[in-house]
Structure 1
Amino acid sequence: MSNVSLRSIRSHFFGGATTQVQGLPVQDRTVAGGTARPVDMNGTYSVGQMYAMHYALAQPRFPLPVLLWHGGGMTGAQWEATPDGRPGWLWGLLEAGFDVWVCDAPERGRASWAMFPEIYPSAPIFRSHEEAWDVFRVGPAGGYPGASHADTQFPVEHFDQFARQFVPRWLDHNEMALAAYDELIAAVGPCIVLGHSQGGGHAGHAALRHPDLVRAVVTVEPTGMPIPIPAAASPADTPQLMLWGDYLDRSPLWSTYRQSAEAYVQALRERGAPVTVLDLPAVGVHGNSHACMSDRNSDEVLAHIVAWLSATSSRSSRLSQPLEK
């Protein structure tokens, strides 16, 4: 691991709104082991905001920052370290010379969430170990905790450490998340968005919503891509890379997700957009789970992404705008 010299590390909140809660009974509660006191939860609340940590290099080698957007039921922690304790893609991108923003979408990690049903009308869903084993393609459905794919790159012995990242999420708040990402992009300016799973779908939407600011997109096994692409959208100038791991043919769920993503790719290509699809098994990289940033060969996978970004930066004027100091 090489040294990285940072100019600053700063945390930010973007998006959200204020709302009122009225009519709740005042409770007589013991707080932090003290004496009982009235707890009145009526009042004004901030909801829908996202959290972002900005890592600014002392001497970046690339002109645009990378925004890291996590998947569903996850947080920005997925980029910071692997379940077996190695540096995550955050560090790898900093080493490569990119400024990086690590984001927690609304309701995730340090972004907090709101009470329900007083503010959110519905309750969140939660991800069990059993579901994650299947959804992240660590092993076949029903295989938790012992039956993993024979040649998996996922560090199976550290699966429980991986599962500690899981957080609740609401299924009907995509627009809330996109609105917060809108504010983030407006504040950051020209940027590269790298999104995983649900975050990949958000990245696809962001490219359509901000064609002037989102200069390149990397989606890692994305879900929820914007299909059909609105007729008024103009994504043709935005280079995009879509990456896929292994075992998709063993998962009906992921076969469906990939078909939807391929429809998005085809729609972009019909408009002349520069889209690259990187199928890891097709280039000799086998065994990757849905969480390839957590796999044992995560550095190898990231090297493919950095190589694409480097090549794209060298030939695209959209990625050559100098960083503001």
Structure 2
Amino acid sequence: MHKAINYLCASAMLLFAAGALYAQSKQQPLTIAKQGSFMIGGSVITEQGSFDLNNALKPQGQTFHGDHAYVFYQIPVKAHKLPLVFLHGAGQSKKTWESTPDGRDGFQHIFLRKGFSVYLLDQPRRGDAGRSTASVAITPTPDEQFWFTQFRIGNYPDYFPDVQFPRDSVSLEQFFRQMTPNTGAFDGAIVADACSEIFNKIGNGILVTHSQGGGPGWLTAIRNDKVKAVVAYEPYSGFVFPENELPQPIKSTGLFGELKGIGIPMNDFLKLTKIPIVVYYGDNIAKEPTLTWNKDHWRSGLEMARIWAATINKHGGNATVVHLPEIGIYGNTHFLFSDLNNMEVADLLSKWLKEKGLDK
């Protein structure tokens, strides 16, 4: 009976995906006014000495440019005033926001069709921005079943009964293959520096982050007043608080242990109260402490996000945390924006942007 139910659910998901792909194929052509790419931010290492043309492989007198971000952008015809700048999460790249694992439009194309310019970035030391000033050993350690579980697709090998992730093997393989390693240690400050430089280059815009990108996202908004709003999908680490208002760590059976806030000067924290912020979380997150470690990990993240938003609002800010099951949207994984219902998730964000006057 259990296998039969799983088969019916999988079949229904495949039909849903096929219908979505068919609907997309009937859309009008998307017209792009301009697109391109650039590197931004980073640092330069210079080796002492003089460059010797006859010994050109020696480092003396030579330079090494690294720790920059890579940015690919597209600007539609008659674009809204504020572009969307997309920052990925851990183990990911700009691919996060492109086509979904089962081939549907990701947020890149969905929001282009909604009239927004989109800037997709690979953070320093990741993807197309892989030139790192810090060395690291990259070991091919099998870990994909962990990530399947950590990202709440299910408890491997089982999918969650209501999950909004396609259950065919091709989509799962595509999902696994989009993961990419750090080419140097993750450094939130370096990521925030590069993100801030993007806004210096393009002007005012809206920052959209995912997961590990949440922490650098807050730092970017603190450093640069050209960030006019922040949208965060399932941030976990990096929540910043006034130094004298740090909450108690939240204990969890998640594999990364208890979750702590980060103290920063009050003057910096207050900059987050000047812009609208919205944070979204998906489904299959525990309501109470549990030994099911993936659900408990994200329980602590959701709980910390609510404490954080309440602290911002206490100081006059405008932060909202939305847990999708509480508003009747079920089954979303850690990758809400590429799930089977990502159009519904995108429409929710569109409504928020309109409410805040950010879609002019």
Give the TM-score taking structure 2 as reference length. Answer: 0.76
Counterpart among 162, 170, 176 of residue 151 in structure 1: 162
Cα distance, 1:70–1:127 mapped onto 2, change above 3 Å: farther
Q: Which whole-Å CA distance do the structure 1 matches of 2:267 and 2:88 have between them?
A: 28
1:238-288 CA-partner distances (Å, limit 9, x unpaired): 001110100111522212222322222121111111112221101111000
- Equivalent runs, 1:181-260 vs 2, <5 Å: 181-210=195-224, 212-229=225-242, 230-233=265-268, 234-249=271-286, 251-260=295-304
Cα distance, 1:127–1:232 mapped onto 2, change above 3 Å: farther
Q: Which whole-Å CA distance do the structure 2 matches of 1:272 and 1:123 have between them?
A: 45
**What residue in structure 2 maps to residue 316 of structure 1?**
none
Counterpart AA for 1:135 = Q
Cα distance, 1:256–1:171 mapped onto 2, change above 3 Å: farther
Q: Which whole-Å CA distance do the structure 2 matches of 1:154 and 1:39 have between them?
A: 51
How much has 1:41 moved relative to structure 2? Answer: 6.7
Cα distance, 1:171–1:112 mapped onto 2, change above 3 Å: closer
Please tell me whether the aligned partners of residues 236 and 273 of structure 1 are also in contact (alpha carbons under 8 angstroms): yes
**What residue in structure 2 maps to residue 87 of structure 1?**
105
1:139-182 CA-partner distances (Å, limit 9, x unpaired): 12xx2xx3111111111321111111111124442211111112
Q: Extract unaligned runs of 5+ from structure 1.
A: 23-37, 314-318
**What residue in structure 1 maps to residue 152 of structure 2?**
137
**What residue in structure 2 maps to residue 278 of structure 1?**
322
Counterpart among 111, 115, 139 of residue 97 in structure 1: 115
Q: Which whole-Å CA distance do the structure 2 matches of 1:187 and 1:7 have between them?
A: 19
Correspondence 1:58 to 2:58:
no
Cα distance, 1:161–1:231 mapped onto 2, change above 3 Å: same
Q: Which whole-Å CA distance do the structure 2 matches of 1:290 and 1:127 have between them?
A: 20
Cα distance, 1:17–1:289 mapped onto 2, change above 3 Å: same
Q: Extract unaligned runs of 5+ from structure 2.
A: 1-26, 49-54, 243-264, 287-291
**What residue in structure 2 maps to residue 110 of structure 1?**
128
Please tell me whether the aligned partners of residues 226 and 264 of structure 1 are also in contact (alpha carbons under 8 angstroms): yes
More helix by share: 2
**RMSD of Structure 2 on Structure 1 (CA):** 2.2
How much has 1:200 moved relative to structure 2? Answer: 2.3
**What residue in structure 2 maps to residue 25 of structure 1?**
none
1:68-119 CA-partner distances (Å, limit 9, x unpaired): 11111100011110000001111111111111111111122211233xxxx4
Q: Which whole-Å CA distance do the structure 2 matches of 1:44 and 1:161 have between them?
A: 37
Counterpart AA for 1:208 = I
Please tell me whether the aligned partners of residues 75 and 167 of structure 1 are also in contact (alpha carbons under 8 angstroms): yes
**What residue in structure 2 maps to residue 298 of structure 1?**
342
Please tell me whether the aligned partners of residues 38 and 70 of structure 2 are also in contact (alpha carbons under 8 angstroms): yes
Give the TM-score taking structure 1 as reference length. Answer: 0.84
Correspondence 1:160 to 2:186:
no
